[in-house]
Amino acid sequence: MAFSELPPWAAWRHHPERVGFEVVFVQRNSDGYRVHGTTSAVEDGVPLVVEYHIEVDGGWRTRRAEVRNISRAGHGRVVLESDGAGHWTVDGIPSPWLDGCPDVDVETSCLTNTFPVHRLVLPVGATATAPAAYVRGEDLNVQRIEQEYTRLEDDGGRELFDYDCPTFDFACRLTYDQHGLVLDYPRVGSRVG
């Protein structure tokens, strides 16, 4: 099933491990999308606000991500940029440990799991790796994570994927809507509105 155009906005309630809310606004441009999102949440008694601006090209590869936070430590900002061929800079510094990552995954976002499924266009039964530049919410530390998506049989108008992230020893089944936006992300969040 081909995904339809992204809607102009989306929102998720984060629960149960992180309790909060995420809202994102989407703009289509001549070569992809620009998204602007914010998550306000509390996790393990720690309050946090994370704001992100992400640009993806027509092939759903992240080209630029600016992530800001407000935490107990104060305010922070990090900028990741890609040449589209898998080479990255973090705050302008070449970051070869991220080579080959087509995506940015923001720890406090349900939205960023949208990019790989759009880019991969997996048929039912297929599996693909999707390494990502992962931005942590509280300290904006950037690391490489390994991920894998396996496309399952659709459930009505919903696409299902088995998601595996061996970096964090985490696996779950993700449910997506007709736009390729996560509806249900077990232990992380669910779509509202």
| pLDDT for the residue 174 | 98
**37 pairs with which residues across the strands?**
24, 52
pTM of the model: 0.95
What is the extent of the structural domain holding 172? Answer: 9-191
- Give per-residue pLDDT as tens, 25-66: 999 999 999 999 999 999 999 999 999 999 999 999 999 999
Residue 19 lies in a domain: yes
What kind and span of H or E run contains 119?
helix 114-120
Q: Which of 151, 191, 182 has its CA nearest to residue 1?
A: 151
Average pLDDT for 160-176: 98
Whether the per-residue pLDDT at 133 is higher than 70: the answer is yes
Residue 4 lies in a domain: no
Q: Are 187 and 173 in contact (CB under 8 A)?
A: no
Mean of pLDDT over the chain: 96
* Residue 140 located in a structural domain: yes
- Which of 156, 73, 65 lies closest to 106, judged by CA? 65
Query: Is position 37 within any domain?
Result: yes
Evaluated on CA atoms 128, 131, 137, 138, the torsion sign reads: positive
Angle at 102 between CA 100 and CA 103, to 5 degrees: 130
Other residues' Cβ atoms within 10 Å of the Cβ of residue 59: 12
In tens, the pLDDT along 137-152 reads: 999 999 999 999 999 9
For the chain, the C-alpha Rg in angstroms (whole number) is: 16
DSSP 101-139: --EEEETT-SGGGHHHHHHH-PPTT-EEE--EEEE-TTT
* Domain assignment of residue 2, yes or no: no
Percentage of the chain with pLDDT > 70? 99
Q: Indicate whether 1 belongs to any domain.
A: no
Structure confidence at residue 84 as a pLDDT band (50, 70, 90): confident
Q: What's the number of domains the chain is made of?
A: 1
pLDDT for position 1: 58
- Within-domain flag for 171: yes
Interatomic CA distance for residues 42 and 88, integer angstroms: 30
Q: Are 137 and 48 in contact (CB under 8 A)?
A: yes
Contact 121, 63 (CB under 8 A): no
Residue 2's pLDDT is what?
Answer: 77
